[in-house]
Structure 1
Amino acid sequence: MLENIAARLRVTPEALKEELRTFFVTTVGTLLYCVGTVFFIKPAMLPNTGVMGVCLFLNYLSGIPLGLSNAVFNFALFLFAYKMLPKRFFYWTLYSTVLMSLGMEFFARFPAPVIADRMLLVVVAAVLHGIALATVFSGGGSTGGIDIVCVAVRRKTGVELGNISMLLNFAVILLFFWVVSVENVVYGLLLSYITSLVMNGDLRAFSSRKEAMIITSEAELVRNYIVYTLHRGVTIFDARGGFNSDPRHVLITLLAPRQEIQLKLFLKEHDPNAFLRLSVASEVLGKGFQKWEE
């Protein structure tokens, strides 16, 4: 069925699977972000960073709906940067932005849970936001805001705007001194810090892979399993044992965590004399993994 749909769309089944995965993770991540904002951050009048921080500031100050202000600000940013953005990033970020604006208004209709412990509330909101952002980023898009400008300028000039982005976020936090208590501003800073920790940790989990090096005398058996069952590429080197000079083959491949377990079980059953070394590859770029343009 998937092959038929891919043929009609004139794309490969692998490309269609990738876009369906991106649709799923972008939708889930964006809705999680809405839940964290509407049910936890907004009722407690906590600050936030970026464009959503400005939207919250305006909401606390004058009651402007979050969905409306988020749509207006991001629309302006898209107009500024759309020609400089990668097409795939542009479309998925646009989808996330529209879904977020609609999601904010939808979830605002429901009563927020009451959490008396302010620290617990901050942790829950930060974890939701961190997981949400990492999930969306893992699909190759973003939730909009300052990310749009940073990606556009980096592609146009090659200049990284990490420090400028940090200063802008800090300036947004300072705005909240006008509308909330100093205590809430401090909680807002803590919220941003925990969010970044959770997001970075999850991004490493999403993007990290295991590099497997197998030393074996059954190269074809292992190669066929990696290529045709795990659907991964493999590089093969000829070698010989240093102890008895017996001929050996060294196979190197990159695997997802689940595939690492499958490979272990296969070697245990079919090639128990093989030597397996596993190491963490914190980031992998190229076909079958993260695209270079992302």
Structure 2
Amino acid sequence: MKLNEPEHAAPDDAVARRDVEPVICYPTATLPAVDLTAYRAARDGWRKIAETLVPPRDARTFRVPAGHFFRIVSVEGPQVGDLNLWHEADLTERFYSGKTRALHGTHLSTGDRLWSCLPFLRPMATITDDTLDWYGFDRFGGSVHDVIGTRCDPYTNRLLSGGDYHFCCHSNLIRALAQAAGIGMDEAERHVHDVLNVFMCTGFTRDTGQYFMKATPVRPGDYLEFFAEIDLLGALSACPGGDCASEHSSDAATCHPLLVEVYAPANKPHGWRPAEPNAYSRRHGM
């Protein structure tokens, strides 16, 4: 529990220390530019080649070849989803939410990329459209599609409530990955990772800095669209919190399915090639 009042007196120059200007940790001006015009032009003549309906309080996997698009779509009612991504050929290369957050910020939208973990550190997918981009940041500091929450899980649920609940997003993703990859639950759990919280509206409280959630603004027909920069295996959980207006990890919230659609473009974006792993030598000073 955080203390309401500090235990130590502020120094005489506390105001000056607080007024030091911040510095962006990872300036992104030197990142390769995202050519949204080329990506969007590649939609012309595209065709849907697959779709996966994710049931409420459960998860499903899907595959997206490099150079294809996929959309996560709200189809019935307000519902948030937890997204994991892996390199289809190597589960050790997975989405790195922390580095994605450091590069693009706490919440993602059009033009941002989902980066893979070290030592690969390459773009896995690029967000090419977001029908919730109008939301921006509200007066509470909340926004949508965050990379700050980790995913609801049965361990935290046990810690806070004293009971077991098996349909948290962590467990949902484990079951889905185990089935899709033909591996055991223990091995699958080692590959499930921090998520992109699709459609979820979140932020940090101004006074205590606590992670908060509020009802998602998503409507039926809204979607978040991606372009696959490498061959992807994805898993999406329709969170047991539904719209996350009050709670998650329970059977109390009203939940809805989510739809994943995969599209094959007639032509790849002009000048596009699959992303290569990071070129660092990996000598680490040796």
TM bracket (short chain): under 0.3
Tell which has more relative contact order, 1 or 2 (C-alpha 8 A, sep 6+): 2
Return the structure number with greater helix share: 1
**Between Structure 1 and Structure 2, which shows a larger proportion of strand residues?**
2
Structure of greater Rg: 1
